[in-house]
Chains A and B, each alone.
Chain A
Amino acid sequence: MRKNITHIALLLLLFLGNALAQPCVKVGDAIQLFTKDLEKAKKGIEDAALDPACSSDPATWYYKAFILKDYYKNKEKTIKNASSRIAAIEAAKKNLQLDPQNRYAEECKKILNFLAQTFYNDASKDLNEKKYPSAYDNYVRYLDIIKYGQPDKLDTSAIFYAGYAASMANNYLKAKEYLKKAVELKYQEPNLYYYLGKVYWSIGEKDKSYEVLNLGHALYPENKDVILAMVQYYSEDGKLKVLESTLDKAIQLDSKSPDLKLTQAVVCEKLSETEKGQEEKYFKKSESLYKEVIKSDANNSRANYNLAILYYNKAVNIIDKLDADSDLITIDKIQDQCVLIFKLSLPYMTKAYQLNPNKKDVLEGLAGIYFALNDIPKSNEFKQKAESMK
């Protein structure tokens, strides 16, 4: 039924073509074969296009595009890089080039739009199947074809997806090109900023990465992925101060995430070691975050371990910074203070040990705390267990 409709349409066009200009004989023969034998029609129109008597006639290219498009639909739709699809596109483009009066332009554009859409669909399918290089190629082909079919249309969505597919295929230069264009065209998709930030980061353009991610965050303050990318890169870059403020925002967006709180706790712990005059502020913040995580999940081994280490390190730092000229009374007071802190550390490391009895870091942690508390037999017990883990 569908075939018949197509045939009628073609004959109608042939009639219309006749009204305008008579196509060459070989083209007419191919059209006649169209409903009877598609293979022969294809062969006929291909031969006609090679014939100098027909090849300069725009109608030849229009009919070639039409027949090969139909051939693709019926015979080669499942074939990757089907030659009939490419040939149909080239023929339609050739018609647009040769047809100054635009007699077939609208029909050729319809053919191009249809075939462009097939590339778009292939690209989307590839993307969902994680075939990123192929998805990228298909989006690029779509974009190339659609500009003939719809010269006034700029498909920002396809531009973004081409960039996304390229970035997932680690083709960073092309990813940068397309994603940057999507940003310039103000394509509305928060992941655009995430992926362009990632691409810039991957090619070492860190400042650009931060710039894009910050722009993405400003446009989409509720988007977690953009802010998590910022967290990741600031972390890798060791920019602890800005990382801390970024993590605060991320925690606001996802207040139940133990991972974000634990990361922020570690950041604050490190800041407590480097930010002069703010040691106690950052220590307290770190301690409070660990406790929040433990309160909601007493069995979070990392929170227990890290909090134990936070206390342990605090006491060790106090002792390490002790001036050698301190008198014996001062040393005694410092020891009192540190024993209390080491004792704060012990239950959390013990809990971490209960949760992970064979973890070397935990065993070494317990050995260290008991050693600092001068409980040498206990310290040796855990030290030996830790060594046996080797």
Chain B
Amino acid sequence: MSIRFFILTVVIIFGLQSKAQLPDPVSKIKVMFLYNFTKYIEWPKEYKQGDFIIGILGGGADALHKELEKLSMTKKAGIQNIVIKKYSSLAEVDKCHMLFIPESKSASLDDATATLKKNSTLIVTEKDGLAKKGSAINFVIKDNKQNFELNKGNIERYNLNVSSSLLSLAIQVN
């Protein structure tokens, strides 16, 4: 009598699966841009002491927040430690070097420019047209890539100086 064997192997070997990586590549690129801005923009003397504050307005932008936190653990802005803060409202913003307004909070830009007009805060946004409406730097998408618009007037209004190198790499907006 012939015996039939029952082999189970092939069914099981594919426990191995391809998985998409978790890091958010867009947030990582934006954070690299933000860190570069700390090098190409000069803050007034009174902002060169203490911590270098990078704020995020409102909830959301979790991936960007996470990337910023990672950055703050290894890098400094000049000699200043980088500290990341999340603000639920503009009223909480005090001495902040850079304020990132996520797209979902873009409607707050007018309030932000009014509230921070006496501060030296670099306002960074990520919605089309906002560089013309008060933000200093606005992330835009060009050829599937992250790029940034820069409004020199809006930077200088906050007593900040921008290097010519950054100007040459930016999409300049008046």
Contact = CB atoms under 8 A, between A and B. Distances in A.
Interface of A: 121, 124-125, 127-128, 130, 161, 164, 168, 191, 194, 225, 228-229, 231-232, 235-236, 259, 262-263, 266-267, 269-270, 305-306, 309-310, 312-313, 315-317, 319-320, 322, 324-329, 331-332, 335-336, 338-339, 342-343, 364-365, 368, 371-376
A320 B21 contact: yes
Interface in B40-94: 71, 74-75
Interface residues of B, number: 39
Contacts of A161: 3
Contact of A305 (B6, B10, B16, B18): B18
B114 interface: no
Contact of B26 (A194, A328, A374): A374
Contacts of A322: 28, 32
A331 B7 contact: no
Contact of B23 (A125, A191, A229, A316): A316
A266 B21 contact: no
Given A309-B18, A319-B23, A338-B25, A235 B13 contact: yes
Contacts of A128: 1, 3-4
Interface string B126-147: 0000000000000001011110
Contacts of B36: 327-328, 331
Contacts, number: 119
Contact of B21 (A262, A312, A342, A373): A312
A324 B75 contact: yes
Interface in B19-33: 19-21, 23-26, 28-29, 31-33
Contacts of B164: none
B25 A259 contact: no
Given A319-B23, A364-B20, A332 B14 contact: no
Nearest to A305: B18
B13 A259 contact: yes
Given A322-B32, A331-B29, A335-B145, 17 more contacts: A128-B3, A168-B6, A228-B9, A263-B16, A266-B18, A316-B25, A324-B35, A324-B71, A325-B75, A327-B36, A328-B33, A328-B166, A332-B169, A335-B146, A338-B25, A371-B24, A375-B144
A279 to B, nearest CB: 14
Nearest to A374: B141
Contacts of A317: 21
23 contacts: A124-B3, A128-B1, A130-B6, A191-B7, A228-B7, A228-B10, A228-B13, A229-B9, A231-B9, A232-B9, A266-B16, A309-B20, A313-B18, A316-B20, A320-B21, A320-B25, A322-B32, A324-B35, A328-B166, A331-B36, A335-B145, A372-B25, A374-B146
Chain A contact residues: helix, strand, loop or mixed = helix
Going nearest first, the 3 A-B pairs with the smallest beta carbon separation are A228-B9, A124-B1, A306-B18
B19 A309 contact: yes
B13 A368 contact: no
A324 B32 contact: yes
A310 B18 contact: yes
Given A269-B18, A305-B18, A320 B23 contact: yes
B38 to A, nearest CB: 11
B148 to A, nearest CB: 9
A368 B25 CA distance: 10
Interface string B88-106: 0000000000000000000
Contacts of B25: 315-316, 319-320, 338, 372
Given A232-B9, A319-B25, A374-B26, A331 B33 contact: yes
A267 B15 CA distance: 11
B174 interface: no
Given A128-B3, A329-B169, A335-B29, A267 B20 contact: no
Given A326-B32, A327-B36, A374-B146, A313 B16 contact: no
Nearest to A330: B32
Contacts of A269: 18
**Which residue of A168, A310, A331, A364 has the most chain B CB atoms within 10 A of its CB atom?**
A331
B78 to A, nearest CB: 13
Contacts of B16: 235, 263, 266-267, 270
A168 B24 CA distance: 48
A232 B35 contact: no
Contacts of B7: 191, 194, 225, 228
Nearest to B170: A328
A255 B80 CA distance: 60
B119 to A, nearest CB: 25
Contacts of A365: 20
Contacts of A263: 13-14, 16
A371 B20 contact: no
A232 B146 contact: no
B33 to A, nearest CB: 7
Contacts of A305: 18
